[in-house]
Amino acid sequence: MQIIARDYRTAAPIEITINGEIIEKITAIDSTQALPFVAPGLFDLQINGYGGIWFSDENLTVEQVLKTLEQHFQHGITHLFPTLITNSQEALEHGFSVVRKACEQEQWADKMVLGCHLEGPYISSEDGPRGAHPIDHVRKCSWEEVDALQRASGDRIRLVTLAPESEGAAEFIRQTVNSNITISIGHTAATADQIAAAVEAGATLSTHLGNGAHGTLRRHPNYIWDQLGEKRLSASIISDGHHLPASVVRSIFYAKGLEKTILTCDASGLAGCPPGEYDYHGGRFEVLAEGPIVIAGQRQLLAGSGVQTDVCVAKMIEMTGCTLEQAWTMATTNPARVNGVKCASLTVGAQADLTLFDHSPETHELKINSTIAQGKRVFDSESAKN
Taking only the tens place, the pLDDT of each residue in 310-342 is: 999 999 999 999 999 999 999 999 999 999 999
Q: What is the pLDDT of residue 283?
A: 80
Q: What is the pLDDT of residue 184?
A: 98
What lies within 8 Å, CB to CB, of 153 at 6+ separation is 96, 97, 99, 100, 116
Pairing of strands 116-119, 77-85: parallel
Torsion angle, CA of 149/155/157/160, rounded to 10 degrees? Answer: 70
Rounded CA-CA distance 16/14 in Å is: 6
Rounded CA-CA distance 52/111 in Å is: 24
Q: What is the pLDDT of residue 188?
A: 98
Rounded CA-CA distance 51/139 in Å is: 29
Which of 371, 344, 331 lies closest to 236 in space, CA to CA? 331
Instruction: Residue 121: count other Cβ atoms within 10 Å of its Cβ.
Output: 25
Rounded CA-CA distance 333/15 in Å is: 22
- pLDDT band of 94, cuts 50, 70, 90: very high
Residue 373: pLDDT over 70: yes
Residue 74: pLDDT over 80: yes
- Chain center to CA of 168: 27
- pLDDT band of 127, cuts 50, 70, 90: very high
Average pLDDT over residues 338-348: 98
Mean pLDDT of the chain: 96
**Is the distance from CB of 95 to CB of 60 less than 8 angstroms?**
yes
What lies within 8 Å, CB to CB, of 190 at 6+ separation is 124, 163, 164, 165, 198, 223, 226
- Please state, for a pLDDT cut of 90, what percent of the chain lies above it: 92
**Is the distance from CB of 331 to CB of 37 less than 8 angstroms?**
no
Rounded CA-CA distance 379/230 in Å is: 40
Q: What is the pLDDT of residue 290?
A: 82
- Chain center to CA of 26: 29
**Is the distance from CB of 158 to CB of 182 less than 8 angstroms?**
yes
Average pLDDT over residues 83-100: 97
Q: What is the pLDDT of residue 32?
A: 87
CATH of 40-334, one of 3.40.640.10, 3.30.1950.10, 3.20.20.140, 3.40.718.10: 3.20.20.140
8-state DSSP, 36: P
Q: What is the pLDDT of residues 214-245, one digit of tens each?
A: 999 999 999 999 999 999 999 999 999 999 99
Q: What is the pLDDT of residue 302?
A: 84
- Please state, for a pLDDT cut of 70, what percent of the chain lies above it: 99
Average pLDDT over residues 178-191: 98
Residue 345: pLDDT over 70: yes
Instruction: Residue 165: count other Cβ atoms within 10 Å of its Cβ.
Output: 22
Pairing of strands 276-280, 283-287: antiparallel
Q: What is the pLDDT of residues 266-303, one digit of tens each?
A: 999 999 999 999 987 678 899 998 888 988 888 877 88
**Is the distance from CB of 384 to CB of 377 less than 8 angstroms?**
no
3-state secondary structure of 67: helix
Q: What angle do CA 101, 341, 267 make, to 5 degrees?
A: 65
Average pLDDT over residues 209-215: 95
CA distance readout (Å), 356 to 37, 256, 366: 6, 29, 10
CA atoms within 13 A on the CB side of 324: 19
Is 252 buried (19+), middle (13-18) or exposed (0-12) by CB count in 10 A? buried
- Chain center to CA of 253: 17
8-state DSSP, 347: S
E strand or H helix at 366: strand 366-373
Residue 186: pLDDT over 70: yes
3-state secondary structure of 253: helix
Largest CA distance in the chain: 62
Q: What is the pLDDT of residues 129-146, one digit of tens each?
A: 999 899 999 999 999 999
Q: What is the pLDDT of residue 386?
A: 64
